[in-house]
Structure 1
Amino acid sequence: MPESVEQWWARRQWSKGEAVPYPVGRYRSDWERYPVLIRQYHPDLNHGITLTQVPPAADVYLVWECDSGHRFVATPGEQRARPAGTRRRSVWCPQCAEAAAPRPVRAPESEPEPDAGMHRCGHARDPRRIEADPDDDRCYLCRRLDSEALTREQLVTMAAPGSRVAVSAENGTTGKYSWQCDAGHPSFQASIEHILGGRRCPICRHARAGADRVPVGEAFVSRWAPAPASAAEPELKRRLAARLDVDLGKNAVRVAKPFHTHLEVWPDILIPELKVAIEYDTTGRHGLEHVGPRETSDRRKDRLLRAVGWEVVRVRAGKLQPIGPYDVAAGSVTEALVDRILARLGEIRGELFVAAYRR
């Protein structure tokens, strides 16, 4: 159970038998990767305790103040995990995030039409679609179930384990349900209408557009790969191309297990001849990149690459700490950085093997 910073500090003083249980700077390296949180934390709001005296995993309520002046209470774990999947600076503050994406206001429900309601089969009535075929008294969904490639039994079979029966009357045809493909990929959410209309597992759909054409562990050119996030990545690729006679045109690697909704990953730079991926990591403009949940995603991507025979070299810029055995720290893209990367390649694949590709 989280406690106030005063109670937490007093308890640590008693348990350690010291007036200062955690000296200033003790956890500096753990907080350096979160520049936004460093700005939001003020010792005068937290009993005079500095952020470098607070363990990142401490179960304590701290007071934070964002750049807009909003004050709020959150534990270190809650604040470090706050960015989630968004890229706005406001996500570090719950009040700014609420203002940036206000909840939609629902309009008052209109009076139902005389013929609105439920069919005898239990599905929601849609008068406009029924009028398209007045001689058939079955509801629209029942007609689709009988005419589409999927039968009612097949539709129910696709329901993910633990979910309720796919054909349910509670939400009609618009409710979303959990589905599972034959390949056993993680379940996905979709309405019955989308399933009947041909929308299936997103992992399978994306794989058919690229990853299914190559064997596991092979590099290829993917249409799904995002554009470079900064100018540093193309510059690093240019400098490596001037030093190594390798093909740097691939942008994806086929992996054995899904990474989010794809069977491929997209490192910044790929060297297929050496089976080494190079990533250039910074905290980004708003201090959101490669920290918190995104660092967890980076670690998972690295594990998937290593599982198919690749190794990863991450260039960790700024205050980002290494997360892999071959990571290097750097402030900018220079020839000295390229030399360090080439040395890492020699450690991974052997100096003689890498020398064969030097220009």
Structure 2
Amino acid sequence: MAESVEQWWARRQWSKGEETPYPIGRYRTDWERYPMLIRQYHPDLNHGIVLSQVPPAAEVYLLWECDAGHRFVATPEEQRSRPGGTRRRSAWCPACAEGAAPRRIRMPQQDDGMHVCGHARDPRRIEHDPGDDRCFLCRRLDGERLTREELVTLAAPGSRVAVSAENGTARTHSWQCDRGHPVYEASIERILSGRRCPVCRHAAAGADAVAVGDAFVSRWAPTPASAAEPALKQRIAERLDVDLGNNAVRVARPFFSHLEVWPDIVIPELRIAIEYDTTGRHGLEHVGRREATDRKKDRLLRAAGWEVVRIRCGKLQPIGPWDLTAGGVSAVLVDRILERLGEIRGELIVGAYRR
């Protein structure tokens, strides 16, 4: 159970029998991956305890202050998992995050085919309470529990609906298309409008044309995040006679709403993907939940018969068996990458592609 920083520190002093149970710098390596948290932590607000003295897994309430001056209490685990799916600096501060994404205001509509909230009426929906004028989607977005029959009416035609109920009240629910792809709750409006499964729709534009484990050119692949990735690709092209024109690899299970992943560099001849990772301008990239996403991406690639080499820059630590740490793109880094490729696939095979 989490406790205040004063109580936590006093308890650790007693259990270890030392005035300073954790010396300064003990956990510096763990916290270096979160530069924004280092900015928000102030020892004078936390009983004089330095952040590098706090274990990342400690159940202790710490006081943080963001760049805007908002102060809030959170445990180390809550802070390390706070970035979520956003890139804003405000994602590290709950007060700033709430102000950056205010709640949507529902405006009344006069159209007879619309609810007062603006969502279209659907004849498949079952009337529930005449005294409640909210539509099903509003009730769902408001977090209310729906009955089993109401949930079934929300499913798109032809989809499979899984509902677990207790005393007639639904506890959990999920949708799957005919091919077994999960339809996430974020796509509920697509379901209500009867559109296709997003995974199937995206796969039809490219991934369905290739087999699992094959590399191809995808229209969905994002542009490089910085100039470092193209520079590294150019240096590798000068050393290896391989096709670096592909930007995607077909995987067996969905990666969010796609049956493909997009490594920074794809080497189909060796079935090796190379990723170039930095924390980005605001220190939010490849940390916290984004690191968990990187791990999931690597697992999908390995399940498809590929290996992954991540170039971890700055304070990022390796997360895979073949990862390398570096300060930037250089000739020395390319030499290290080629050595790593030889370790993975064998020097003779890699040597056959050397220029």
TM-score where L is the length of structure 1? 0.81
Cα distance in 2 for partners of 1:75, 1:235 equals 40
Q: 3-state SS of the aligned residue for 1:258?
A: strand
- The residue number in structure 2 matching 1:60 is 60
Q: 3-state SS of the aligned residue for 1:49?
A: coil
Distance apart, 1:343 and its partner CA: 0.7
Q: Does 1:265 align with 2:264?
A: no
* Cα 1:235–1:18 shift into 2, 3 Å: same
- The residue number in structure 2 matching 1:73 is 73
Deviations along 1:200-244, whole A, 9 cap, x unmatched? 211111111111110110100011100000110000001111111
* Cα 1:20–1:195 shift into 2, 3 Å: closer
Cα distance in 1 for partners of 2:286, 2:123 equals 53
- The residue number in structure 2 matching 1:180 is 176
- The residue number in structure 2 matching 1:325 is 321
- The residue number in structure 1 matching 2:159 is 158
Distance apart, 1:157 and its partner CA: 6.2
Q: Please, which runs of 5 or more residues in structure 2 have no aligned partner?
A: 128-152, 166-172
1:354 equivalent among 324, 337, 350: 350
Would you say the 8 A contact 1:276–1:311 is kept in 2? yes
Q: Which amino acid aligns with 1:204?
A: C
Q: 3-state SS of the aligned residue for 2:251?
A: strand
- The residue number in structure 1 matching 2:96 is 96
Cα distance in 2 for partners of 1:334, 1:119 equals 59
* Cα 1:195–1:296 shift into 2, 3 Å: closer
Q: 3-state SS of the aligned residue for 1:62?
A: strand
Distance apart, 1:160 and its partner CA: 2.2
Distance apart, 1:55 and its partner CA: 0.9
Distance apart, 1:279 and its partner CA: 0.2
* Bigger Rg, which one: 1
* Cα 1:16–1:202 shift into 2, 3 Å: same
- The residue number in structure 2 matching 1:205 is 201
Q: 3-state SS of the aligned residue for 2:254?
A: strand
Q: What count of residue pairs does the alignment treat as equivalent? A: 315
Q: Please, which runs of 5 or more residues in structure 1 have no aligned partner?
A: 125-151, 165-176
Q: Does 1:274 align with 2:275?
A: no
Distance apart, 1:110 and its partner CA: 7.7
**Percent identity, aligned pairs only?**
72
Q: Which amino acid aligns with 1:329?
A: T
1:225 equivalent among 198, 221, 227: 221
Q: Which amino acid aligns with 1:49?
A: I
- The residue number in structure 1 matching 2:40 is 40
* Cα 1:21–1:249 shift into 2, 3 Å: same
- The residue number in structure 2 matching 1:286 is 282
Cα distance in 1 for partners of 2:104, 2:53 equals 41
Cα distance in 1 for partners of 2:245, 2:100 equals 39
Would you say the 8 A contact 1:214–1:254 is kept in 2? yes
Deviations along 1:90-135, whole A, 9 cap, x unmatched? 111112212222223445x58998xx999998657xxxxxxxxxxx
Cα distance in 2 for partners of 1:342, 1:280 equals 15
Would you say the 8 A contact 1:252–1:264 is kept in 2? yes
Deviations along 1:9-50, whole A, 9 cap, x unmatched? 111122222222211111111111111111111111111111
Would you say the 8 A contact 1:63–1:74 is kept in 2? yes
Cα distance in 2 for partners of 1:303, 1:122 equals 40
Q: 3-state SS of the aligned residue for 1:19?
A: coil
